[in-house]
Structure 1
Amino acid sequence: MSRIFVAQYRRRADAQSTLDGVLEHLDDKVTVRAGFVVLPENAFASVDEGPLPTALRDQALERLAELARRRGSYLLTGSWAEEGGPGGGLHQVAHLLDPSGDVLAAVRRPVDDQGRTVTGDDFPVVDTEHGRVGVLLGPDFWLVEPPRIQCLAGAELLLVAGSTSGTAIDSQHAAVWGISTLNTVGVAIACGLDAPSAGGSGVAVPDGFLAWAGTQEAVVSAAWDLDHLRHLRQPDLRFQETLWFGLWARRPDLYTSLADGRSPSGVTVEAGS
């Protein structure tokens, strides 16, 4: 059994100070052989400040890779703004590092003219010794389809570099558990404490929250029991042991009807109905 560590913090006066402070805190809190470490969206600077300087971006990747190597963990770097990539312009980018410090997966999303991160249609899922893992940014996580798509691709744990809304943190707290329950998946979400995000980081499984940071600076952790998650997904048609198989089970024969806008009875389904 491994552990998941989720970092929640306020950014310091500048990106370099934030990086230094976060690495010092993680080095103190994250134990050897941690399974996963997760950082939030806008990990070191707001996207409003423009792209992270190249030298600082490279330093962040190298120092986080060194932490992954020292602790033998998979590490989601959180996201930061970079110039370039497909189509040019500003992008939010997050990397999943493996225990050797190499980039195992990356998520890249354009930033629009209003400074908002755009959703995408590529949702990486990778194999690790701690289970099959999906990587998401916040704008995708809060939609129904991306987590479901990753779970259909076999994801057993979702690592999310996210953010919350200060006016809806209780609802979003409930939604994290709801996403975990309806997909029978573990969720480790890191959210910052700088406006408009208001914290609410944690680790959830269908049984409930294993750890939750509330609205305070913290590195929270929880045991990750892959065998238990797989048990919840086992067929149990009489529901004698678990409830969740009924939520995890699928009827692929209905997908065509959903895709072409018709219900199984042939009635047209209007958008938003």
Structure 2
Amino acid sequence: MTIFVAQHARRATPEATASAVLDDLDSRVTDEASFVVLPENAFTTGGEVQALSRPLREQCLDRLTALARTRGTYVLTGSWAETRPGGGLTQVARLLDPSGSECARVERPVLPDGTTGTGDDFPVVETSFGRVGVLLGPDFWLVEPPRIACLAGAELLLVAGSLDGRQQESQRAAVWGIATLNTVAVAFSGSLSERCGGGSAVAAPEGFVAEAGTDEGVIEAPWDVERIRHLREPDLRFQQTLWFGLWARRTELYTDLTAQVS
């Protein structure tokens, strides 16, 4: 089982970006693929966030659907902005199954400054390659969303993300840190632009399995769900597994804090 993660520079037009990304995926993704992951704002120019035109949205979704079907893989489409019925923009990311059907969706508002907002729904999907959680944008960088997804059973986090903070090396390190603290594999996809620093990677609790750095292209890494399941087995001596990282909680220590909030 193999994970493919896209990382591409944003072009002068959304059409040019989409062509570069989709052509490269068609060329690089093999029949060994279990999951393909694209980034937040997958087909933008890197400038002001704008809604993709309907024809371009349909073209991108059609090609990603065809990729899922022909390779027999799950595809996290990345996100793109769409106009909400009441006005404003929302980022929409979809997880397609090997038949090309949508099996999960995450929507987040586009804030006035153009960044993506957070949410409180973190879908976990049972797939033929293990249980996966889907995260979009800044939700990944918060403590709770990855933890909630993992406590709900996610063995792999598919992240349509962006390395766009001022501390990008810290963000890069956090990808591995999140994998370790939650005993989970992470497939993180980012973009390259003046603002975005790439950083696409596949991380396991023990370390990075593959990294794109600031290179353009499609990286691939093996996916071993049985390894994650082994690491989550109870081990009260803390010698053989990472059980304590996900399950060894002391929730009673939060009593005073929650009492203050309420």
TM range (shorter): over 0.9
The one-letter code sitting in structure 2 at the alignment partner of 1:189 is F
C-alpha distance after superposition, 1:188-226 (max 9, x if no partner): 000000131100100001010000000110211110000
Contact kept, 8 Å, 2:3 with 2:33, in 1: the verdict is yes
- Structure 1: give runs of 5+ residues left out of the alignment: 263-267
> What 5-or-longer segments of structure 2 have no aligned partner?
none
Q: Secondary structure at the match of 1:48?
A: coil
Partners of 1:54 and 1:255 in 2: how far apart? 50
CA distance in 2, matches of 1:116, 1:49: 8
| Alpha-carbon distance change, 148 to 255 in structure 1, aligned in 2, over 3 angstroms | farther
Aligned length: 261
Number of the residue aligned with 1:135? 134
2:182, 2:74 → 1: CA distance? Answer: 22
Q: 1:251 to 1:162 in 2, by over 3 A?
A: same
Correspondence for 1:265: none
Find 1:251's aligned residue among 228, 239, 249.
249
Give the aligned partner of residue 194 of structure 2: 195
Q: Secondary structure at the match of 1:141?
A: helix
Q: How far apart, CA to CA, are the structure 1 residues paired with 2:34 and 2:18? A: 22
* Corresponding residue for residue 16 of structure 1: 15
Q: Partners in 2 of 1:251 and 1:43 — Cα distance? A: 37
Judged with a 3 Å threshold, the aligned counterparts in structure 2 of structure 1 residues 122 and 47 are, in CA distance, closer, same or farther, namely farther
Q: CA deviation at 1:91?
A: 0.4
The C-alpha deviation readout for 1:66-102, integer Å capped at 9, x for no partner, is: 01111111001111100015x5420011111111111
Q: TM-score, normalised by structure 1?
A: 0.90
Trace 1:108-187 onto structure 2 (pairs within 5 A).
108-165=107-164, 167-187=166-186
Q: After TM superposition, where is structure 1 displaced by more than 4 Å over at least 4 residues in a row?
A: none
Identical pairs, percent: 59
Distance 2:108 2:166 in 1: 25
Q: Where does residue 70 of structure 1 map in the other structure? A: 70
Indicate conservation of the 8 Å contact 1:166/1:195, yes or no.
no
The CA deviation at 1:49 is 4.2
Alignment partner, residue 216 of structure 1? 215
2:16 and 2:179 map into 1 onto residues whose CA distance is 34
In structure 1, the residue matched to 2:41 is 42
For residues 142-167 of structure 1, the C-alpha deviation after alignment (integer angstroms, 9 at most, x for no partner) is 00011011111111100000001364
Deviations along 1:40-77, one digit per CA (max 9) or x if unpaired, are 11100147241100111011101110011111110011
The offset of 1:237, in angstroms, is 1.1
Contact in 2 for aligned 1:47/1:80 (Cα 8 Å): no
Secondary structure, in 3 states, of the residue corresponding to 1:107? strand
- State whether residues 44 and 80 of structure 1, in contact with CA within 8 Å, keep that contact through their aligned partners in structure 2: yes
